């Protein structure tokens, strides 16, 4: 099989790309969740009457 090296390179590169895409999606999801959590905490601390937790 003279193409075994090329197949191995293609599979390795493909796996690497899939890993990068997976990690970037996970990172974006975590950042979005953190920003939402921080916004909710800021609203709770400010006593915003719109959310029903105010004075």
Interval 1-52: pLDDT, tens: 889 999 999 999 999 999 999 999 999 999 999 999 999 999 988 875 555 5
DSSP state, residue 1: -
- Kindly report the CA angle at 11 between 5 and 12, in degrees rounded to 5? 90
Residue 51 is predicted with a pLDDT of: 52
Tokens, residue 25: 């999606």
Residue 22 is predicted with a pLDDT of: 98
- B/e letters for 26-37, b = 16+ CB within 10 Å, e = fewer, are eeeeeeeeeeee
- B/e letters for 11-23, b = 16+ CB within 10 Å, e = fewer, are eeeeeeeeeeeee
């Amino acid at each position: 099989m003279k193409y075994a090296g090329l197949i191995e390179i293609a599979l390795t590169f493909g796996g690497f790309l899939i890993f990068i895409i997976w990690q970037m999606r996970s990172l974006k999801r975590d950042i979005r969740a953190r920003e939402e959590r921080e916004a909710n905490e800021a609203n709770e601390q400010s006593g915003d009457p719109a959310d029903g937790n105010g004075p």
